[in-house]
Chain A
Amino acid sequence: MHIMEGFLPPLHAAAWTVVAAPFLVIGARRIARITREQPQAKLLLASAGAFAFVLSALKLPSVTGSCSHPTGTGLGAILFGPSVMAVLGAIVLLFQALLLAHGGLTTLGANIFSMAIVGPWVAYGCFRVARPMGLGIAVFLAAMLGDLATYTVTTGQLALAFPDPASGYAGAITKFGGIFALTQIPLAVIEGLLTVVVVNLLVRYSGEDLDGVGFEHRLDTAGEAAR
């Protein structure tokens, strides 16, 4: 989902940066509040960022014959709320832009918007909606659909900037969607599964931290006990 350096016209690059900026400010303030009021949650917060670090470094093969990577931003979004991921995701993207020439500074705003804002918000929304279906299912759907949403946004961003000369915006969406969204489907499933694995471990060993951040991981057991 990285739009390469210089590959958005200046106007688009500036617009996405402006759109992303307030989310970064809100996210930074939220992180400052968490670290001040719940210092014991700092390590969990860092781990959520670490998960995004690992997953976005893994370029995986897809059935379309090309490679792409998961984002890892769904986990932090469901644990801490989506706003913190704007900052954590931006750190990942900045690391890759500066050290790997992957993505870029001019496209940082657009890439933050897709990976660190829309993805986490979709993940968070899906988690809230799907939570009554069970923890595992909700976590899986949240991480998977958040991942797919990120790549759908990248598709839209590129289509807006580079409409197809013959078939216009619709043609460009089909073209970039074929490259990004289609490739991403199995990878999004992988991200969903890995996120469930980590949440399972957290529920088992880190219940106190989860309670501290208000993560609803107990509903299932309570429901079973009531039945």
Chain B
Amino acid sequence: MTRINLTLLGLVLALVLLPLILPVTGGLAEPFAGADGQAQDAVTQTHPDYQPWFEPLWKPPSGEIESLLFALQAALGAGLLGYYLGLRRGQSLSGSPALRGTRRRELDDHPQSAATDAPD
């Protein structure tokens, strides 16, 4: 499974890097602009009379603060996900008393099959 996951993560990395390497932004006024903002611009282009009728209650005062909050959002999510996976991994490997998992029973019943990995 580890090999499969590493391959998948490698593919993800390639998909992220590809647009940065390929000359896809040739002729674009603003390379890698956000799609949300582009949609906003498209609206104002075809409907110049449209007035947004509500403003955000609070805006990050600078791009730095905005990136801080985006990083915080990602960190909170990744932290919790990592905590959960690490906790369950530790429990499934150590056989702690709290553990009543099927994998543990598998290990007890078939120690030889546990040596060769569970099929993915």
A interface residues, Cβ below 8 angstroms from B: 1-7, 9-10, 43-44, 46-47, 49-68, 95-106, 136, 154, 158, 162, 164-165, 172, 175-176, 179-180, 183-184, 186, 189-190, 193-194, 196-198, 200-209, 211, 220-221, 224
Contacts and interface: CB of A to CB of B under 8 A. Distances in A.
B40 A7 contact: yes
Contacts of B34: 59, 66-68
B63 to A, nearest CB: 11
Contacts, number: 199
Contacts of B81: 47, 50-51, 54, 198
Interchain residue pairs A-B with the least CB separation, the first 9: A53-B77, A6-B52, A54-B77, A50-B80, A101-B56, A6-B54, A57-B74, A57-B73, A68-B35
B5 A65 contact: no
Nearest to A154: B39
Interface centre among B18, B22, B69 (most CB of A within 10 A): B69
B32 A61 contact: yes
B74 A67 contact: no
Interface of B: 1, 4-5, 8-9, 11-12, 15-16, 18-20, 22, 24-25, 28, 31-40, 42-43, 46-47, 50, 52-60, 66, 69-71, 73-74, 76-81, 84-85, 87-89, 91-92, 100-103, 118-120
A200 B5 contact: yes
Given A57-B74, A66-B32, 4 more contacts: A47-B80, A66-B38, A101-B56, A186-B18
A205 B19 contact: no
A5 B32 CA distance: 22
B35 A179 contact: yes
